[in-house]
């Protein structure tokens, strides 16, 4: 079941949902609007390897905006820090952003109970689009969980994105491999 605006407010009042900064006008009937943070990052290697950390170049979005180009993956970040302690947050793109051809996540729209951080966005576009820091970018929708949660995100040993950062976080898929993903060179 999706939480209504009044249920979201109730959970904010008792500390089960936190959005910082909070703006009342961003609360919709059943969602909360989030904004694009001031940093973007792009991977610097032409080919990414799931077993190794990908190098990125991070930059600040200039005041005059930045043009996203097709064929490039951009890592963005929300301006808002969020905490969700007893429901499942889903991040979806705003329809106005989608109508510009901007996708804000390729696969990772669902958060976990216990996720406490900024949201990294996996952004791509169909056509060149100028974007701006602070623009509305997505909306958080909260789903009620049925039953107690035995392993909230922040307490899971396998949680790879616990370090709080207002900067885009590159993939940490390499941590899923033995030895933290270190590739072994085979002797010749």
Catalytic machinery residues:
122
Residue 79 belongs to what H/E stretch? Answer: strand 74-84
Beta bridge partners of 124: 103
Q: Name the nearest CA neighbour of 2 among 107, 143, 131, 103.
A: 143
Spatial strand order in the sheet of 136-144: 32-35, 136-144, 87-93
- The token pair at 47 is 């080919």
Contact present, 161 and 172 (Cβ < 8 Å)? yes
In DSSP notation, 114-182 reads: T-EEEEEEEEEESS-EEE-TTSEEEEEEEEE-SS--SS-GGG-TT-S--S--SS-----GGGGSGGGGP
Beta bridge partners of 123: 74
């Amino acid at each position: 079941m999706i939480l209504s605006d009044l249920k979201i407010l109730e959970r904010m009042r008792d500390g089960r949902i936190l959005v910082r900064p909070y703006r009342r006008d961003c609360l919709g009937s059943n969602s909360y609007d989030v904004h694009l943070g001031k940093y973007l990052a792009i991977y610097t290697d032409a080919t990414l390897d799931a077993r190794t950390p990908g190098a990125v170049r991070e930059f600040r979005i200039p005041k005059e905006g930045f043009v996203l180009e097709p064929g490039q993956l951009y890592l963005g970040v929300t301006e808002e820090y969020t905490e969700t302690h007893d429901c499942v947050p889903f991040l979806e793109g705003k329809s106005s952003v989608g109508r510009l051809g901007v996708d804000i996540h390729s696969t990772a729209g669902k958060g976990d109970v216990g996720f406490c951080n900024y949201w990294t966005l996996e952004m791509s576009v169909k056509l060149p689009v100028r974007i701006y820091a602070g623009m509305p970018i997505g909306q958080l929708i909260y789903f009620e969980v049925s039953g107690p949660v035995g392993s909230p995100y922040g307490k899971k040993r396998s949680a790879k994105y616990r370090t709080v950062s207002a900067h885009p976080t590159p993939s940490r898929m390499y941590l899923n491999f033995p030895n933290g993903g270190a590739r072994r060179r085979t002797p010749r």
